[in-house]
Amino acid sequence: MEWFYQHEGSLKWALLLLAFVIFALWETYDPRRVLVASTARRWGSHALLWFVCSASAVWIFRASAVVVASAAGANRYGLLNRQGIPYWIRCIIAVLLLDLFRYGQHYVYHAVPVLWRIHQVHHADPDFDWSTSLRFHPGEALLTQGIHLAVIALLAPPALAVLCVELAGVVQDIFVHANVAVPAWVDHGLRRWMITPDMHRIHHSNEFSEQNTNFGFVFPWWDRLFGTYRQEPAAGHVNMRVGLREVDVKQGVGLIEMLILPFRSLSIR
């Protein structure tokens, strides 16, 4: 198991590349919707934005989530650092709590105006495909990672649980944003256990009421439990519009425009 901890970065890169190949090819040959913006420009801008976010996070935080979990587990502090609880139970609890926290954090990003300023960059994408998963403002990326590491230090979850969450998150984040045509019966079955592209696409609707639904990260249970689950968009998946009404296509896909979007007056809700 130590080998997996030591090669966490390589595993993430390998999964990211594999997920990119699978879902980029899938949505190219069997797309769910017709896209409106230039795919080449969007993918390029999103990749550059992702690089800025990743480089900033590595430079500022240094330690990964698994390293923080390993360090926290080496002392007697932490809510889950209890040897009296079986290891596998602590792993399950940790996975659920970390996912619940991501749900709550996502909800807060929509509810607090100053946080919506930076989170709206993710929603301003005029299209919805795998590359939308790369589209986050550096301010949000740093805030999310910083709080994530702090929560791990507080919980002291098993490093194995954190590694599983990190690796699953890489694939799941690309999957839920993919513009892929998942058969209805498959989507219905998957929604019992995980977020699907059709479920998350509703969250990216340009309708305000639909943006405030389906906040889940990996598991769909929190949305159902807290009353934020929405089954279908009002206009249907093919005809619904994604993005923000205040942001046109040109503003939505340019790198500079994405970086300065939080500072524009339209950001206030």
Residue 8 is predicted with a pLDDT of: 72
Q: Tokens 């599983």 belong to which residue?
A: 164
Q: What is the pTM of this model?
A: 0.90
- How do residues 38-97 score in pLDDT, each as one tens digit? 788 899 999 999 999 999 988 888 778 888 888 887 777 778 887 778 989 999 999 999
Rounded distance between C-alpha atoms, residue 19 and residue 130, angstroms: 9
Which residues, listed in sequence order, are joined to residue 242 by a DSSP beta bridge? 205
Task: Compute CA distances 231 → 7, 37, 163, 201, 210, whole Å.
Answer: 39, 27, 31, 11, 10
- 196-231: b (≥16 Cβ within 10 Å) or e: bbbbbbbbbbbbeebbebbbbbbbbbbbeeeebbbe
Q: Tokens 């901890």 belong to which residue?
A: 5
Residue 3 is predicted with a pLDDT of: 54
Rounded distance between C-alpha atoms, residue 266 and residue 32, angstroms: 30
Residue 104 is predicted with a pLDDT of: 96
| Number of domains the chain contains | 1
How would you classify residue 236: left for phi > 0, otherwise alpha for psi between -120 and 50, otherwise beta? left
> Per-residue DSSP letters for 207-225?
SHHHHTS---SS-SHHHHH
Rounded distance between C-alpha atoms, residue 121 and residue 260, angstroms: 9
Parts of the chain with a pLDDT under 50: 267-268
Residue 141 is predicted with a pLDDT of: 94
Print the domain residue range for 150. Answer: 2-267
